[in-house]
């Protein structure tokens, strides 16, 4: 899959990963299924910026890595604004 192009909501410029802030994750417990795969819906948040200095937090929607499993995590969360994205820009 290719990169996802996400624009700054304030000025419509392209966003780039802001490595100075790194990545954060929520630590909510989840259940591991009997068949050995996990449906971990914790948020993974990365910080992005545009060339005009605007900053934005993006969170990715989690999926199950087990072949044939179609589980997808929630598309919204209390810890950030807006919907989660399916791929990182």
Query: Pairing relation of β-strands 16-17 and 23-25?
Result: unpaired
The tens-digit pLDDT sequence of the chain (89 residues) is 344 678 898 999 999 999 888 888 888 777 666 676 778 888 999 999 999 999 988 999 998 888 888 889 899 988 888 899 988 88
The whole-model pTM stands at 0.75
Can you give the residue range of the structural domain that contains 4?
A: 1-29+38-89
> What was the pLDDT predicted at 45?
92
> What was the pLDDT predicted at 64?
85
> What was the pLDDT predicted at 48?
93
Domain total of the chain: 1
Structure tokens at 44: 């993974």
> What was the pLDDT predicted at 31?
67
Structure tokens at 74: 């929630």
Query: Quick one: 15 exposed, middle or buried, by C-beta within 10 A (0-12, 13-18, 19+)?
Result: buried
> What was the pLDDT predicted at 2?
40
């Amino acid at each position: 899959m290719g990169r996802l192009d996400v624009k700054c909501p304030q000025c419509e410029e392209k966003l780039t990963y802001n490595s100075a802030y790194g990545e954060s994750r929520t630590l909510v417990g989840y259940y591991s299924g009997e068949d050995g795969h996990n449906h971990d819906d914790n948020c993974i948040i990365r910080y992005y910026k545009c060339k005009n200095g605007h900053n934005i937090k993006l969170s990715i929607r989690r999926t199950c890595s087990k072949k044939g499993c179609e589980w997808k995590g929630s598309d919204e969360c209390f810890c950030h604004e807006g919907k989660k994205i399916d791929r990182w820009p």
